[in-house]
Amino acid sequence: MKPKMSFQDWCLQNRSYLLLHFYQEGNNPLSPDKIGFSSGKRVWFRCHVCGLSWQRTLNHVTRNPAVQTCPFCEHRKPSPFYNLATEYPELKDEWDSERNPFPPESCLPHSKQNVYWRCTKNHRWRAIICDRAETAEKARKSGAPVCPYCSGERVSTAYNLAEKYPEVAGEWDYVLNNGQKPEDFPPHSNHKAWWKCTYNPSHKWLAKISNRTSLGRGCPQCAKDFKMSYPARALFYYLRQACPSCTCEEPFRKYKMDIFLPERKLVLEHDGYYYHSSLAARKRAEQKDRALREAGYQVLRICDSRELAEPVVFQKSKILYRFDERDRYLDQMIAAVFSYLDLPPLDFYHWRDRYAINRMYFHERKKRTLAVEYPEIAREWSTRNTDNPDTVFSGSSRKVWWHCPKCQQEYQATIANRTKNRSNCPFCDNLRAYEKNCLAVLRSEIAAQWHPELNFPLTPYDVVPGSEKEVYWACSEGHVWKAAICSRTKPRESRCPICYPRTVTRCGPVRPMDPALVQIWHPTKNLPLIPSEIANQSNKKFWWQCEKGHEWQSDPSHLNRLAPSKRCPYCNDRAVCGDNSLLALYPELAREWDSELNFPLTPDQVLYCSGKKYWWRRGEFVWQASIKDRQRKGEGIPRS
């Protein structure tokens, strides 16, 4: 049966002459004009260029233009002239022939097949072929090994964080890392992990492994607490080897000396660029240098600078070295200090010795901790603190918790207050109340007169008998007054000033309020207080109201010094109100008030008789004059 359209006619119609030639070269039993173009029969094609043959169904070839060319010349199929072995012979050497059932010659370099590999050092792994080819390309440029274990891309027993950086792996937090181990990660991985500080185990933080190993970063909390920078620690590390008596952070009055050489009476101060670049920091450094020199010490300042072109520059009593984020010039600076001090040179390499540098600094800090210098105070350290007494500085201003062994109470106080000021337990010193020294227990008869509402939320259980705090009291007759707690608990205790008007308090004899003051006592704004509860010589301010309805605040002692007619500040023109303002009494002057220059004051906010100068405007004339001058005829007006 003749097909509707033969393969030959289809090729001629679609101008696929090369495809027709491939079919004719394939030695197929049917000629191209005897087989249909959409036949599902597999036929042979042969490339006249490379001489290789391949099979395809015609319906697949005619429907997909992408497969109408030679798959070997187009590198869609492996061939003797293009395969993984020919393109990447280094990968052929790492092909695991035992576990892969096919040779590398049967694979394309861009294949996504996952196969097994084995290097010359017997490292075994599984990887996709195209990924390995990409790695081989990079290795050709960099010269690195192709094996991921040999190049450090993968973890092995000989190449992992614990093996290469045991000091960093020692700070690995196994609990927060959910069972992961440092042996499971390469030394320069970007994986974020949890770390626990060696110096202070309560410090925990999250950071990349590469930041710890490649950049050498440590505990961020210790970096804030430690006052001595890393360059100063490195210098101290090498100076200690040359001068065993050398110390760091030696206290001097209110200062600390970075590095101190006692046999030379020499102080070395390191000035970091970031901390000492401000004007205030330079002034503090000058004051410190002046105090040290007045005490007979020599001072050598070592400063890093951004402006230097040379690595190290010597100046008078100062050594400058070039600033760098990675401390590339630190070793040259240390060598310059040794040369300045005429010390024999050592093998300076701070990056190699960075862990030993920090260990020595931590050891020196431990000598000045609370547990070492004040063991008796350290025994009162509370378990509520996250830190331990062997990690905090004995002169720290941090506020922490303490546990008193006598009263078994816990309280907060700064470490410096306990060590330098020798402060004790505030409960034992009766400075704070608890169940055994409170007013309710020691002086129950006085606590019975405690006013529960006016003193709320304070209760007799919250105060001590010797407190100077003033509180409200209520006697059995219902009288309410205010007095200090200590005035009620002293041997000559004060009593109700109404029931006992001659009672002596800290302010002297108590007298009832003057009847003239009672008449102007504000009836509502002073509640719940009443005039009979207030002493005539009280210095506390209360609300008052005159017969004209003016309201103001003042204390009885001040009002007693004034005549009755002079007590209201509004009636006596000492304060402004709606009755005595400029706007109310002199509206014609108020119209010439300059609102812009006098802002935010307005004419109703100033006294009509004020002697203060204000701005006035009349047409284009603007001038300054007091209200008193404006009230006088012809005065305070600008001349035309």
CATH value at residue 328 = 3.40.960.10
Residue 113 has pLDDT above 60, yes or no: yes
Residue 292 has pLDDT above 80, yes or no: yes
Does residue 241 lie within any of the structural domains? yes
Integer Cα distance of 270 and 319 in angstroms: 10
Which structural domain, as residue segments, surrounds residue 97? 84-142
Does residue 285 lie within any of the structural domains? yes
Q: Are 360 and 236 in contact (CB under 8 A)?
A: yes
Residue 505 has pLDDT above 50, yes or no: no
| 332 class by beta-carbon count within 10 Å (0-12 exposed, 13-18 middle, 19+ buried) | middle
For strand 114-118 and strand 542-545, is the pairing parallel, antiparallel, or unpaired? unpaired
Among 405, 456, 459, smallest CA distance to 435 is for: 459
Q: Are residues 397 and 459 in the same domain?
A: no
Instruction: Name the average pLDDT for the chain.
Output: 89
Token pair for residue 524? Answer: 């509502």
Does residue 311 lie within any of the structural domains? yes
pLDDT at 496: 85
C-alpha distances in Å from residue 430, one per residue of 411, 459, 470, 515, 537: 13, 16, 17, 42, 32
Mean pLDDT of 241-246: 93
**pLDDT tens per residue across span 381-414:** 999 998 899 888 888 888 999 999 999 999 999 9
Mean pLDDT of 419-430: 92
pLDDT at 154: 82
Residue 508 has pLDDT above 60, yes or no: no
pLDDT at 573: 87
Mean pLDDT of 76-93: 93
Does residue 312 lie within any of the structural domains? yes
What helix, strand, coil percent values describe the chain, rounded to 5?
30, 20, 50
Q: Are residues 290 and 353 in the same domain?
A: yes
**pLDDT tens per residue across span 138-176:** 888 888 888 888 877 788 888 899 999 999 999 999 999
Does residue 561 lie within any of the structural domains? no
pLDDT at 634: 52
Q: Are residues 349 and 248 in the same domain?
A: yes
pLDDT at 397: 87
pLDDT tier, 380 (very low <50, low <70, confident <90, very high otherwise) = very high
> How many structural domains are present in the chain?
8
Q: Are 454 and 480 in contact (CB under 8 A)?
A: yes
Beta bridge partners of 314: 319
Token pair for residue 32? Answer: 């191209």
pLDDT at 635: 53
pLDDT tier, 2 (very low <50, low <70, confident <90, very high otherwise) = low
Q: Are residues 276 and 336 in the same domain?
A: yes
Residue 503 has pLDDT above 50, yes or no: no
pLDDT tier, 509 (very low <50, low <70, confident <90, very high otherwise) = very low
**What pTM was estimated for this model as a whole?**
0.56
Integer Cα distance of 501 and 534 in angstroms: 11
Q: Are residues 256 and 299 in the same domain?
A: yes
**pLDDT tens per residue across span 462-476:** 999 999 999 999 998
φ/ψ of residue 475, rounded to 5: -85, 180
Among 20, 24, 25, 22, smallest CA distance to 7 is for: 20
pLDDT at 470: 93
Residue 315 has pLDDT above 90, yes or no: no
pLDDT at 3: 67
